[in-house]
Amino acid sequence: MKRSNWILAGILILAVSLRILAITTRDIQYDDAFTILLSSRTLGEIISGTAADTMPPLFYFLLHFWGLIAKKIWFYRLLSILFNLGTVIGVYILSRSISQKAAFWSAFLFAISPMQIYHAQDIRMYSFLEFCLIWYLFFTYKYYFTENIDNSRIWYGLGIVATGTAAMYTHNIAVFIIIMPNLSLLVLRKWRPLLDLILKQVIIFTLFLPWIFQLPGQINKVNQAFWTPVPGLLQVVQTVIMWHASLPLPWKITALVAAISILLFVLVLYTFMRSTIQKPQKLYLILACTIPPITLFAVSYIMRPLFVPRVFIASQALYLVVAGIAISSTRVRWIRFAIAGLFIVASALSLPYQVTYSEFPRSPHKVASTQLEKLDMTDTIIVHNSKLSYFPFVVHSPGLNQTYISDEPGSFNDTLATETQAALDLPAADDIQSAVDEYQKVIFVTYSEVFKEYLDAGKSHPEMDWLESNYLLVDEKKYNDLHLFTFILRD
> How do residues 350-389 score in pLDDT, each as one tens digit?
999 999 999 999 999 999 999 999 999 999 999 999 999 9
Helices (H), 310-461: 313-329, 333-356, 365-373, 387-396, 418-424, 432-436, 448-456
Quick check: 353 and 118 in contact, CB under 8 A? Answer: no
| Rounded to 5°, angle at Cα 175 from 167 and 424 | 55
Rounded-to-integer distance, Cα 230 and Cα 36, Å:
30
Q: How far apart are CA 69 and CA 215, in angstroms?
A: 32
Number of H-type helices and E-type strands within the chain: 25, 5
Q: What are 180-201's pLDDT values in tens digits? A: 999 999 999 999 999 999 999 9
Residue 45: pLDDT over 80: yes
| Average pLDDT value for the chain | 92
pLDDT digits (tens, 9 = 90+) for 337-352: 999 999 999 999 999 9
State the Cα angle at 82 between 321 and 6, rounded to 5°.
60
pLDDT band at residue 121, thresholds of 50, 70 and 90? Answer: very high
Report angle CA 84, 87, 89 to the nearest 5 degrees: 120
Q: Do β-strands 471-479 and 380-384 pair in parallel, antiparallel, or remain unpaired?
A: unpaired
Burial class (CB in 10 A: 0-12, 13-18, 19+), 234: exposed
Whole-number Å distance between alpha carbons of 461 and 407: 14
Total residues belonging to the chain: 491
- Dihedral angle computed from the Cα positions of residues 154, 158, 159 and 165, in that order, rounded to the nearest 10 degrees: 160
pLDDT confidence tier of residue 227, bands split at 50, 70 and 90: low
Is residue 480 within 8 Å of residue 365, measured between CB atoms? no
Distance of CA 47 to the CA centre of its chain: 21
53-81 confidence digits (pLDDT tens): 888 999 999 999 999 999 999 999 999 99
- Pick from 142, 211, 143: nearest CA to 175: 211
Report whether pLDDT(225) > 60: no
Q: What gap in Å lies between CA 244 and CA 116, rounded to an integer?
A: 10
The region of weakest confidence among 73-87, 189-203, 403-417 is: 403-417
- Per residue in 139-178, pLDDT tens? 999 999 987 677 788 999 999 999 999 999 999 889 999 9
- Residues whose CB falls within 8 Å of the CB of residue 458, separated by 6 or more in sequence, listed in order: none
Please state, in angstroms and rounded to a whole number, the distance separating the CA atoms of residues 262 and 240: 7
- Residue 412 has a pLDDT of 67
**How far, in Å, CA of 55 to CA of 71, rounded?**
23
Q: Using a pLDDT cut of 70, give the percent of the chain over it.
A: 96
Nearest to 95 by CA among 276, 305, 326, 413: 326
Which domains, and CATH codes, for the chain? 3-356 (no CATH), 365-489 (3.40.50)
pLDDT for residue 221 = 65
Q: What number is the average pLDDT over the span 420-435? A: 94
User: How confident is the model at residue 178, as a pLDDT?
Assistant: 95
Quick check: 304 pLDDT over 70? no
- Global pTM reads 0.94
CA–CA dist 165, 17 (Å, integer): 31
Judge whether 368 and 397 are in contact, CB under 8 Å: no
User: 26, 121 in Cβ contact below 8 A?
Assistant: yes
**Cβ density class 475-488: b for 16+ within 10 Å, e for less:** eeeebbbbbbbbbb
Nearest 5°: the CA angle 440, 367, 69 is 110
